[in-house]
């Protein structure tokens, strides 16, 4: 369902913002590689975090959450609903889990 895929991407944006605020840039491979030997400036982290926040706002504006009977009781379709940020998985695996959890 398309709504689930959009929802998964919104969840990823939230999760990525949380990670950036902690100084983790693993989800952006090029940036992570460039920053691997140094800690990013706070201004850079703030810039990336702000960009992710604005991107999420725009996604919410273009794809508002609708009260749809099909999505209202997600736990029936998937009793193992994944909550972003509560995992101890590596970054890539957590991203993949978000992708399949919202399938």
- Print pLDDT tens along the chain (103 aa): 677 788 889 999 999 999 999 888 889 988 888 888 887 788 999 999 999 999 999 988 888 775 554 555 454 455 455 566 666 677 887 787 777 766 5
* 1-13 burial: b if 16+ Cβ within 10 Å, else e: eeebebbbbbbbb
* pLDDT at residue number 76: 44
Number of Cβ within 10 Å of residue 101's Cβ equals 18
Q: Taking the CA atoms of the chain, what radius of gyration do you get in angstroms?
A: 15
* pLDDT at residue number 79: 45
Q: Coil, helix or strand for 102?
A: coil
């Amino acid at each position: 369902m398309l709504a689930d895929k959009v929802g998964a991407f919104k969840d990823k944006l939230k999760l990525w913002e949380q990670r950036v605020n902690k100084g983790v840039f693993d989800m952006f491979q090029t940036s992570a590689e460039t920053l691997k030997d140094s800690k990013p400036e706070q201004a850079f982290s703030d810039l990336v975090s702000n960009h992710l926040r604005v991107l999420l706002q725009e996604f919410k504006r273009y794809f508002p959450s609708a009260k749809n009977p099909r999505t209202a009781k997600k736990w029936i379709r998937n009793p193992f609903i994944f909550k972003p940020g509560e995992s101890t998985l590596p970054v890539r695996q957590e991203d993949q889990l978000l992708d399949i959890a919202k399938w």
